[in-house]
A and B are shown apart, each in its own frame.
Chain A
Amino acid sequence: MIHVENLTKYYGELCAVDRINLDVHKGEILGILGPNGAGKTTTLRMLTGFIRPSSGTIRIKDYSIEENSLGIRKLLGYLPESAPLYHDMLVYDYLSYVADIRQVERSRKLSRIREMADLCGLNEVMHKPVAELSKGYKQRVGLAHAMIKDPEILVFDEPTSGLDPNQIVEIREIMRQIGKEKTVVLSTHILSEAEATCDRVVIINQGKIAADGTMESLKRSAGGEYSIHLALRNAGMEEVRKKLEEIGGVEGISAQEGDDAVLHVNLSCRSSDDLRERLYEKIKQTNWILLEFYQESQSLENIFQKLTLEN
């Protein structure tokens, strides 16, 4: 669907995007992750034809961005960061204007605007000026704006930035609904968002692709460790250390005496090895009282930091 090769963008001396290769398949939700200033927005702006690449090619379906930018813009719906809409228009007028420019047939225009209002929850604000809307509503108008012509590809730049938790949940829900039928590319620096909405993730750092794959494969490739947390009463630190080391497969143990004589133990383990059963058997043999027992896979934040701080 989207094929990007050696995409590069220089702003003067500064290289914002450095030889990026990217393929997005039909029906996929791709998340572009990266710290601020990594080149996410620049990449999306080049995809949507807003700025010209310094070098490299972008092909979307059968169109190339240099030869047929207009054709590509017809296929795409784009919501820029923080939804910069015309302030002095009413929401209805704005959507009607966009529908005209996007060449929605006249007979379908009204029904299409209604559908968008329902999908994005805009019915109460249709006759308010855009300037009076809250940030969440503006973002929803932006979503409606991007989808009004029913484009095959949707591009969202940080769709949930600056929203409160309830609004974030709502916007994600809308995006997930869209993602069922459409190809979606979205950028974000919030990891849990990528995990909640995306099929595939590309991590960009300093203009280069640092990782590309599903969330699962990224977790696996980055270290492959997990940890088990135990809280025990009635157990001595030395005794615990000795007993648990007997199990084998434990890479490291750290223990800490907490309040009420509770011992908090952290075990780090190789992910190829499931220790939980053996641990349980071991603890059963003792007279320790087990208060907590849970496994933690390596957190997304760790992976992200590892990938973006390394180079």
Chain B
Amino acid sequence: MRQVPHIFKKEFRTYFVSPIAYIVISIFLIVIGWFFFSTFFLFNQAGLRNFFGLLPLVFAFVIPAVTMRLFSEEFHVGSYEILLTMPVTFREVVLGKFLASVAFVAAMLVPTLAYPVTVSFLGDLDWGPVVGGYVGALLLGASFAGVGLFASSLTRNQIVAFIIGVAICFALVLVDKILLFVPAPLTDVLQYIGAGYHFENIAKGILDSRDLLYFLSLIFLSLYATHLALEEKS
């Protein structure tokens, strides 16, 4: 595990060397800021519920764009060969890259801290759901980063990686929104699978172990799948 910090450092720095990081962050802030504040004053409520309500859907598109290059680019350029012939294990590579993308998601969320601060000037803000919301956002972001990393480990084409990642994340967000259309016995299962459902729970300010367990197992599963995909390749 001693190589994880080195890989983390390199990947995190690479994000900010290329313009992609700034473009992705800008798009994220513009989209979420516009949707949030365009309806904010209509409700006349000093809360961030709308902001956190938008987050799963926006993340489903933005985070696969953040993670798509992590492995695909290495396969495409061939630097994967150099990486694997250095003394690193698959586990270290996967963890290092995963943590770098989570750190990037965190960096992306930092500017949005301006929203709760602004809102707290406008009215009496309840900070509980805000803290819960940010914890949930990190967990959700980390889960989607895991999924995106897995998608990236499947192909050498970044666009394909992006589409696979969006498809899986999108399905995870939507699956608990279509419960009306599925037979009754399945609803509980589908609701449990849905990432949106668990995120909303946490964003209410309730840290339930079931929701935590859901996100942690989603992260573990996607990283394990990435590990398997890499092992299969060599």
Seen from chain A, the residues whose Cβ lies within 8 Å of a Cβ on chain B are: 45, 48-52, 70, 73-74, 76, 78, 80, 82, 84-89, 93, 97-98, 100-103, 145
Q: Give the contacting residue for A88; candidates B9, B18, B78; CB below 8 A.
A: B18
Cβ–Cβ contact A84 & B77, under 8 A: yes
Chain B interfacial residues counted at CB < 8 A: 22
Q: Is B13 an interface residue (CB 8 A)?
A: yes
Can you name the residue of chain A whose Cβ is closest to the Cβ of B86? A101
Chain B residues positioned under 8 Å from A80 (CB to CB): 78, 81-82, 85
Q: Is B111 an interface residue (CB 8 A)?
A: no
Q: Give the contacting residue for B17; candidates A89, A97, A145; CB below 8 A.
A: A89
How would residues 23 to 53 of chain B score, 1 for a CB under 8 Å from any chain A CB and 0 otherwise? 0000000000000000000000000000000
Q: Give the contacting residue for B86; candidates A45, A86, A98; CB below 8 A.
A: A98
Chain A residues positioned under 8 Å from B10 (CB to CB): 86, 89, 97
Q: Is B14 an interface residue (CB 8 A)?
A: yes
Cβ–Cβ contact B79 & A49, under 8 A: no
Cα–Cα distance between A93 and B84 once the two chains are bound (Å)? 19
What are the 10 tightest A-B residue pairs by CB atom distance, in nearest-first order? Answer: A84-B78, A100-B6, A48-B85, A78-B85, A73-B87, A80-B81, A74-B87, A84-B79, A97-B10, A101-B86
Q: Give the contacting residue for B85; candidates A73, A82, A103; CB below 8 A.
A: A73
How would residues 106 to 137 of chain B score, 1 for a CB under 8 Å from any chain A CB and 0 otherwise? 00000000000000000000000000000000
Cβ–Cβ contact B86 & A93, under 8 A: no
5 additional contacts (CB under 8 A) given A97-B10, A103-B2: A82-B78, A84-B79, A87-B77, A101-B7, A101-B87
Q: Is B3 an interface residue (CB 8 A)?
A: yes
Cβ–Cβ contact B87 & A70, under 8 A: yes
CB A64 to nearest CB in B, in angstroms, measures 16
Cα–Cα distance between A103 and B18 once the two chains are bound (Å)? 27
Given contacts A51-B234, A85-B79, A88-B17, contact A76 B89 (CB under 8 A): no
Cα–Cα distance between A73 and B87 once the two chains are bound (Å)? 5
Cβ–Cβ contact A102 & B87, under 8 A: yes
Cα–Cα distance between A73 and B81 once the two chains are bound (Å)? 12
Q: Total A-B residue pairs with C-beta atoms closer than 8 Å?
A: 61
Seen from chain B, the residues whose Cβ lies within 8 Å of a Cβ on chain A are: 2-3, 6-7, 9-10, 13-14, 17-18, 77-79, 81-82, 84-89, 234
CB B3 to nearest CB in A, in angstroms, measures 6
Cα–Cα distance between A78 and B77 once the two chains are bound (Å)? 16
Cβ–Cβ contact B6 & A101, under 8 A: yes
Cβ–Cβ contact A86 & B77, under 8 A: yes
Cα–Cα distance between A102 and B82 once the two chains are bound (Å)? 12
Cβ–Cβ contact A52 & B234, under 8 A: yes
Can you name the residue of chain B whose Cβ is closest to the Cβ of A74? B87
30 cross-chain CB contacts under 8 A: A45-B81, A50-B84, A50-B234, A51-B234, A70-B89, A73-B85, A73-B87, A78-B85, A80-B81, A80-B82, A80-B85, A84-B77, A84-B82, A85-B77, A85-B82, A86-B14, A86-B79, A88-B14, A89-B10, A89-B17, A93-B13, A97-B6, A100-B6, A100-B9, A101-B3, A101-B7, A101-B88, A102-B86, A102-B87, A103-B2
Can you name the residue of chain A whose Cβ is closest to the Cβ of B13? A93
CB A69 to nearest CB in B, in angstroms, measures 9
Chain A residues positioned under 8 Å from B78 (CB to CB): 80, 82, 84
Cβ–Cβ contact A89 & B14, under 8 A: yes
Cα–Cα distance between A145 and B18 once the two chains are bound (Å)? 23
Can you name the residue of chain A whose Cβ is closest to the Cβ of B96? A101
Q: Give the contacting residue for A50; candidates B2, B13, B14, B81; CB below 8 A.
A: B81
Cα–Cα distance between A84 and B78 once the two chains are bound (Å)? 5
Can you name the residue of chain A whose Cβ is closest to the Cβ of B89? A70
Cα–Cα distance between A71 and B221 once the two chains are bound (Å)? 29
Which of B3, B14, B82, B85 has most A Cβ within 10 Å?
B85
Cα–Cα distance between A86 and B18 once the two chains are bound (Å)? 12
Chain B residues positioned under 8 Å from A52 (CB to CB): 234
Cβ–Cβ contact B84 & A49, under 8 A: yes
Cα–Cα distance between A182 and B87 once the two chains are bound (Å)? 19
Cα–Cα distance between A304 and B86 once the two chains are bound (Å)? 34
Cα–Cα distance between A45 and B233 once the two chains are bound (Å)? 13
Cβ–Cβ contact A73 & B86, under 8 A: yes
Cα–Cα distance between A93 and B14 once the two chains are bound (Å)? 10
Cα–Cα distance between A145 and B87 once the two chains are bound (Å)? 13
Chain A residues positioned under 8 Å from B3 (CB to CB): 101
CB B203 to nearest CB in A, in angstroms, measures 36
Cα–Cα distance between A80 and B49 once the two chains are bound (Å)? 52
CB A123 to nearest CB in B, in angstroms, measures 22
